[in-house]
Structure 1
């Protein structure tokens, strides 16, 4: 049984990757929700994001629609036909003004009519003012809406929902209902407004050619964000329709970062003109959407001055490809790759005793494993993206199944390196743990073990972000399917370049010292390094499934290891079989323990060694804090992000930086992405980032933010703080 254990567990890697986008907790439909009101074409209900008022002045609700195929409801501006849902709060108690937060709509074009709305599943978030937060809220809501397919049918629904009152929520007390996350997913799709937008309309003008009218818009920031225009929606008091945006290939301005689009204007009367007309422009570009109030003809719009060290503005397709190659190459020396150093070292030491052709073939197989692993990751990310899920670099480390499988494999690698068991067969196949290839193997039979070593190295390297890598990954994940596979292929080639180099010059392996007794000590040290990596993964797992679950996994690994040791100590067939069965049972306990664990609640804030106190992540408060003269430092981190931990130890905890961050006018705001969080994912995507670490500094001198590099530097952080503060006072205070 043990003979095939590692091979079977290695196959689980692909299985657990495919579960990255799966949700592990089902919402309780009966918690803070009305019953569904069913029609033949749709079902609708009212849900609440809060279980009680919590002393708050605002209550967030959601009007949830489940629409039958080919049926739709309408956006706030329906277009050439239709009308949006109308809400009547008559009879409600302790309810003030209500504001619908409209997610970005879809365009429906049929028979020359342009309409805007939603299909399939939509939640319309609603923010309701609470005049007296100390009193309960009684909601009595009547909804009139129009639902259309080949025909349009008006429908009504009535809802009663009572929200109890409570005192102001205390520290650590959550009033979020089971529906809060689903509502927030659609809040994240509401177009962004204000200053510092990741993409923006910089000009809008009316173009008249005879009886033909069109609008020309200049949009800046698309290259920075790594997105393309899906639609531009115009709202105007004039009864006019606007067609799909058509990109203009001829440059009409000197700024290379601005792209231009023309929208055909339909239904404009002869005596009407769009010039000097106020309009609301909604730009929809992949996961991003922004909304601006503009005046046609004068091009007034906010200016985005946010700087980014990883910006892709003006970069060619070839330049992004070069960044991907460099990012993959640099990844070889990043902290995340240290856990697989043991396997690399043993591979190189074994290569010392092999002939030239076998060294070349072995390292080429490892390079192929690296590239294949990147293809697997790219395929999974494409699948999640097409399904509408959240994608990002290293997000497999947010999945307990992946962490558990990798921990088991690391433990088996260490046991094998210590000589507690071997996997052999008629063909003397090498094992995937330490790539043990002997001269007695027949030609080519060691390729599979080298291949699996390359795949394993890649999977453990992905929580790191390296210089150039963030830019390339951001471009890929915000682009097309081709972009994702093209960039990830180049990343794989970059990471595999050292393997290719040895394959080209295999005599390099012969420079290493000859194997001898000294290798026994090396194996002990490298095995301990693998065990240390497994303990690190268990620490990450404890954040995902709780300390009890992580301890259960660890105990299963210890039991399995003890029985493998006992099996090694006896030569009798019956005890060996019994110990083998018990070892397999121990590893199965470790594998299935996360499924019976209860995830811990997310902490609201964290601190670094009791000196740097971080507030909970609340990006919606940044503009207000900056307006009050504060400097806001954003840190998006995760337990599995080794680069994040290195940044903290080597930069953020340095005395000069720590003193600057502890100033009274500096607000530290941290987002923990150890577990999946749609709010954090959307925030990263708004800056064209899909991986961490992510650090930014906002302040009176930089209200739109200064984005920092993946690997922080002391001078870089201090300079950003000074620039964002808008004066030299901050720098002088830490001298």
Structure 2
């Protein structure tokens, strides 16, 4: 539900609701949505040196009580020595409104006074009327969630975290003795563990003073403490005013994370940093930087043995089998070219992710598998590779383009251009590897995507090197490839089996595609591929020119039908009720309910999964569906909550980012013994899951009952 837009030359604003009816709930979540013209801004709750935040007047409203504005982390605007804080472009300010009688309708009458500034500042007023009918939750078996709910929650996720057990937190704040200058020194703990770096620190106080940008002042001597220190200049403080014992509200903004704490300034410290400040390179400094690099290298290496990379092994095997008929230098150059293709692909992925991040979009590991066009193209490529491996066709064409295409599909050595073939094979291997997450990979990718442009390219380069290590190994010692049997007729059988593996992967991708575009669209793609394959087979069976041209045209038509079929398909609707997965029953993803469930003594297992995530499916089959784990998960006090990221979902992306994670699998356990959650590894283990359930439950009953 939403009001009409209230338009001004510099901004448009409207009131939206996350609910279509009261639903028997005592709190109604609304959102004040602004669309601001370029270079215009509105203000945060503490505007800074100038300005004021939106002011709300609920006079005339019926059946409502107190209203609380939730403030997403703002931007800092610095101009002519003035520091202000606010929002630009598009912003939704969530509002929680108490409902006096949940069984009665709500009438909202809201007047909003706000200030919009660019080169000049203009005060504006908007008036909204929004009526929300009464209704009991689930009374009609439907949902009371409005079309605006997810957009509101997107900005709720940007509201700074408060309370105990914060992922990052200010552990100390004191005045610094540095001559006449007034400074505060803050110690922030947990940045390395969360894989983030401080972007800004905002100070609110009753003093008439301004607070500058945070400047790194060093880190703790004990690396285990994981504490970074920052100095903040205090400006405009009167001489008779003291910072000591002054209560402050501190908001730390660190990438996707932001936290808010109420603190009191401690006694003065000297101006010497605990440790020399690290050089600014755009990446988290210190030993953790190199440790994350090592994780990236290991994560890339382990990707070679992950289930989603198995189809690529068929191409690797064929390269190695043909290698022992080549000279040593040719083997070395070929495998180095494949390694170069892998690393180049990671650079391309990094460049795309940087572009999306700079544009303010959602980024994550394997998110290309959420795009129907990507899935369709990859399915067609796999089908062509399989048909070629079965000897049904070879691609030829004029000049360099024809030779490159021929190399990419057939690996024919007759043209003497095997480098391009191996290079493109490396790129293809990378594309198929991305739906998998492996040990160390999630940590490395989360660090990269939460960091700077340098972080992303640094980590993705190491991921590429890790995935390419087997190629480098054979390039360094080509005789490794010669251990395999000499080529012969037996290779035709191997080609047939490997072609079946590629077709199996294509069928798996069609299954993922069916979730994106519907079963009808996926079937249309499959039928187009089958038709194309049949006509390619028919073309192979005849030597007459005219039928060959006809069959070629029909085969191309079949593949074009496969390519464009998803565009004419209607995506299936997302399920709105509990879903069963094997013998386990999962509730829909509702992270806002976790605290309530934990308070009621429940233990909650959150599983973020996707059809395209092979590692997720392996976790379910080999761990979550095992009898002893299943017994533990089906107890009365266990709540299973699943988020399906097969299709793009901003709420899920924001939830992952709140934990510094940008890829899946993602599993976490919450309970009375672990209200802040226990994050599990990407590849689950039985003991790990049972142990986390015990810790979260606060007892050992689960493990013992599962034995």
TM tier, smaller: over 0.9
1:436 counterpart (408, 411, 416) = 411
SS at 2:663 equivalent? coil
CA distance in 2 between partners of 1:565 and 1:464 (Å):
34
SS at 2:608 equivalent? strand
Cα RMSD of the aligned pairs, angstroms, is 2.3
Bigger drift between 254-263 and 164-173 goes to: 164-173
Is 1:662 aligned to residue 637 of structure 2?
A: no
Q: Hey, what does 1:274 align to over in structure 2?
A: 243
Is 1:421 aligned to residue 393 of structure 2?
A: yes
Q: Hey, what does 2:664 align to over in structure 1?
A: 692
Q: Hey, what does 1:306 align to over in structure 2?
A: none
Residue 84 of structure 1 and its aligned partner are, at CA, apart by: 0.8
Is 1:619 aligned to residue 591 of structure 2?
A: yes
Tell me: CA distance 1:715–1:251, structure 2 relative to 1, closer, same or farther (3 Å).
Answer: closer
- For 1:277-426, what aligned pairs fall within 5 Å after superposition? 277-297=246-266, 315-424=287-396
Residue 275 of structure 1 and its aligned partner are, at CA, apart by: 2.8
Is 1:187 aligned to residue 159 of structure 2?
A: no
SS at 1:248 equivalent? strand
2:620 counterpart (645, 648, 655) = 648
Is 1:247 aligned to residue 224 of structure 2?
A: no
Q: Hey, what does 1:87 align to over in structure 2?
A: 56
Cα deviation code 1:638-691 (max 9, x no counterpart): 111111111111111222222222222222222211112222222222222111
Bigger drift between 452-461 and 422-431 goes to: 422-431
CA distance in 2 between partners of 1:200 and 1:712 (Å):
29
Residue 356 of structure 1 and its aligned partner are, at CA, apart by: 1.9
Residue 253 of structure 1 and its aligned partner are, at CA, apart by: 7.3
Contact residue 346 and residue 430 of structure 2 kept, 8 A = yes
SS at 1:96 equivalent? strand
2:515 counterpart (525, 539, 543) = 543
Tell me: CA distance 1:48–1:345, structure 2 relative to 1, closer, same or farther (3 Å).
Answer: same
Contact residue 643 and residue 711 of structure 1 kept, 8 A = yes
Residue 106 of structure 1 and its aligned partner are, at CA, apart by: 1.2
CA distance in 2 between partners of 1:97 and 1:668 (Å):
34
CA distance in 1 between partners of 2:573 and 2:139 (Å):
15
CA distance in 1 between partners of 2:267 and 2:606 (Å):
35
Q: Hey, what does 1:726 align to over in structure 2?
A: 698
Bigger relative contact order, structure 1 or 2, given CA contacts below 8 A and separation 6+?
Answer: 1
Cα deviation code 1:684-705 (max 9, x no counterpart): 2222211111122222333332
Q: Hey, what does 2:481 align to over in structure 1?
A: 509
Contact residue 45 and residue 64 of structure 1 kept, 8 A = yes
- For 1:470-489, what aligned pairs fall within 5 Å after superposition? 470-489=442-461
Contact residue 235 and residue 280 of structure 1 kept, 8 A = yes
Residue 385 of structure 1 and its aligned partner are, at CA, apart by: 0.7
Q: Hey, what does 2:531 align to over in structure 1?
A: 559
Residue 271 of structure 1 and its aligned partner are, at CA, apart by: 3.6
SS at 1:239 equivalent? coil
Residue 422 of structure 1 and its aligned partner are, at CA, apart by: 1.3
CA distance in 1 between partners of 2:696 and 2:286 (Å):
25
CA distance in 2 between partners of 1:271 and 1:726 (Å):
52
Residue 292 of structure 1 and its aligned partner are, at CA, apart by: 1.6
Q: Hey, what does 2:675 align to over in structure 1?
A: 703
Q: TM-score, normalised by structure 2?
A: 0.92
CA distance in 2 between partners of 1:420 and 1:472 (Å):
42
Tell me: CA distance 1:417–1:254, structure 2 relative to 1, closer, same or farther (3 Å).
Answer: closer
Contact residue 396 and residue 402 of structure 1 kept, 8 A = yes
Tell me: CA distance 1:669–1:195, structure 2 relative to 1, closer, same or farther (3 Å).
Answer: farther
Contact residue 340 and residue 460 of structure 1 kept, 8 A = yes
CA distance in 2 between partners of 1:47 and 1:630 (Å):
33
SS at 1:664 equivalent? coil
Tell me: CA distance 1:546–1:432, structure 2 relative to 1, closer, same or farther (3 Å).
Answer: farther
Cα deviation code 1:364-387 (max 9, x no counterpart): 111111111111100001101111
Gaps of 5+ in 2: 269-283
CA distance in 2 between partners of 1:708 and 1:314 (Å):
25
Is 1:126 aligned to residue 105 of structure 2?
A: no
CA distance in 2 between partners of 1:171 and 1:643 (Å):
38
Cα deviation code 1:139-180 (max 9, x no counterpart): 222111111223322111112233344442369733333333
CA distance in 2 between partners of 1:92 and 1:627 (Å):
33
Cα deviation code 1:594-628 (max 9, x no counterpart): 22222222234333323x22222222333333333
Residue 61 of structure 1 and its aligned partner are, at CA, apart by: 2.3
Residue 132 of structure 1 and its aligned partner are, at CA, apart by: 3.4
Q: Hey, what does 1:116 align to over in structure 2?
A: 85
Tell me: CA distance 1:52–1:591, structure 2 relative to 1, closer, same or farther (3 Å).
Answer: farther
SS at 1:316 equivalent? helix
Tell me: CA distance 1:340–1:407, structure 2 relative to 1, closer, same or farther (3 Å).
Answer: same
Contact residue 203 and residue 298 of structure 1 kept, 8 A = no
Residue 219 of structure 1 and its aligned partner are, at CA, apart by: 0.8
Q: Hey, what does 2:582 align to over in structure 1?
A: 609
Tell me: CA distance 1:131–1:591, structure 2 relative to 1, closer, same or farther (3 Å).
Answer: farther
2:562 counterpart (590, 606, 612) = 590
Q: Hey, what does 1:631 align to over in structure 2?
A: 603
Q: Hey, what does 1:21 align to over in structure 2?
A: none
CA distance in 2 between partners of 1:336 and 1:186 (Å):
34
Bigger drift between 256-265 and 181-190 goes to: 181-190
SS at 1:376 equivalent? helix
Tell me: CA distance 1:254–1:608, structure 2 relative to 1, closer, same or farther (3 Å).
Answer: closer
Q: Hey, what does 1:28 align to over in structure 2?
A: none
